[in-house]
């Protein structure tokens, strides 16, 4: 029995049982916490129709959705290209791709964070939201460069993997002869066109520098790193020390339900 099938069986026996409910599948345990908070405020009583379960990553999530077409899944957008998004929309009609880079993208925009802060936390910031922006926005240029690299190098890596890098050479069950090895190496060399990659990076960086900071925070900055490396330490300094997990859950508990998740609620059949 595959790990994916074992996960499905656990969801059906331990979470669904004999109830007539469907499963909302998310990537990890922290996603479970966040979407429980959103659903509790957006649609009280949602538990009568749905349970939330984690898949343990994006790949098993997609595999689960293939096997269980009546369930709905949520995947981070990450650096999927427009073509990749289109492919997944066709192959996984029960998949909702997050409109943001990842779930942590809801935790890094100073303006959005401000809306989530209770009054007692706002009172600690004499300059209001400007104090948040002063702590986060000056770091954006370096993280924007990182974003440009992320969105160029990761797709390049996927292209190389598609061309057999490195399993096409190292698989002991299919060891290439000289002719096949030459073909593989040449295909990798074409994909690794240095000048083309540098040009693509430069164009991406230029386009990101021209974007509003709101768009950068939402869909381009690698929030899975920016939040723990930049935002959480900054909030520790500004608001007082708190564990990263506790602060993350606290923000999701008070963050207004994001408008850009409306497509998910519709896919789940949860009308306002």
- Asked whether the beta carbons of 37 and 254 are under 8 A apart, the reply is no
Query: Given pLDDT bands bounded at 50, 70 and 90, which one contains residue 2?
Result: low
CA angle in degrees (0–180, nearest 5) for 70-78-251: 85
> Which fold is adopted by the domain 3-98+258-267?
Rossmann fold (3.40.50)
Residues 6+ apart with CB under 8 A from 84: none
- Asked whether the beta carbons of 44 and 8 are under 8 A apart, the reply is no
User: What are 227-245's pLDDT values in tens digits?
Assistant: 999 999 999 999 999 998 8
Phi, psi of 129 (to 5 degrees): -65, -20
CA distance 257 to 188: 45
Helix axes 3-10, 58-67, angle to 10 degrees: 70
CA angle in degrees (0–180, nearest 5) for 96-82-25: 20
What is the percentage of the chain residues whose pLDDT exceeds 70? 99
Tell me what the pLDDT averaged over the chain comes to: 95
The segment(s) of the chain belonging to CATH 3.40.50 are 3-98+258-267
- Which contacts qualify for 242-247: CB closer than 8 Å, 24 or more apart? 245/30
The predicted model scores a pTM of 0.92
| Mean pLDDT value across residues 1-22 | 91
Query: Given pLDDT bands bounded at 50, 70 and 90, which one contains residue 1?
Result: very low
User: What are 162-190's pLDDT values in tens digits?
Assistant: 999 999 999 999 999 999 999 999 999 99
Q: What is the pLDDT of residue 271?
A: 79
User: What are 75-118's pLDDT values in tens digits?
Assistant: 999 999 889 999 999 999 999 999 999 999 999 999 999 999 99
User: What are 208-229's pLDDT values in tens digits?
Assistant: 999 999 999 999 999 999 999 9
User: What are 136-169's pLDDT values in tens digits?
Assistant: 999 999 999 999 999 999 999 999 999 999 999 9
């Amino acid at each position: 029995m595959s790990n994916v099938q074992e996960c499905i069986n656990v969801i059906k026996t331990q979470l669904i049982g004999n109830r007539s409910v469907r499963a909302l599948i998310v990537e990890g345990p922290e996603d479970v916490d966040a979407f429980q908070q959103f659903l509790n405020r957006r649609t009280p009583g949602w538990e009568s129709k749905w349970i939330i379960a984690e898949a343990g990553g994006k790949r098993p999530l997609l595999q689960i959705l293939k096997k269980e077409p009546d369930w709905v899944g949520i995947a981070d957008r990450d650096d999927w290209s427009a073509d990749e998004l289109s492919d997944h929309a066709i192959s996984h009609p029960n998949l909702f791709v997050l409109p943001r880079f990842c779930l942590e993208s809801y935790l890094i925009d100073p303006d959005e964070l401000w809306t989530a802060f209770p009054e007692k936390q706002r009172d600690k910031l004499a300059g209001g939201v400007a104090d948040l922006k002063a702590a986060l926005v000056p770091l954006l240029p370096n993280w924007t460069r990182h974003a440009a690299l992320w969105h160029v190098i990761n797709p390049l890596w996927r292209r190389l993997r598609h061309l057999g890098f490195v399993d096409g050479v190292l698989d002991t069950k299919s060891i290439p002869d000289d002719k096949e090895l030459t073909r593989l190496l040449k295909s990798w060399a074409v994909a690794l066109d240095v000048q083309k990659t540098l040009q693509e990076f430069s164009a991406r960086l230029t386009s990101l520098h021209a974007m509003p900071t709101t768009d950068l925070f939402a869909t381009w900055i690698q929030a899975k790193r920016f939040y723990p490396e930049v935002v959480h330490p900054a909030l520790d300094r500004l608001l007082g020390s708190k564990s990263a997990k506790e602060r993350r859950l606290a923000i999701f508990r008070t963050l207004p339900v994001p408008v850009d998740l409306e497509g998910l609620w519709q896919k789940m059949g949860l009308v306002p």
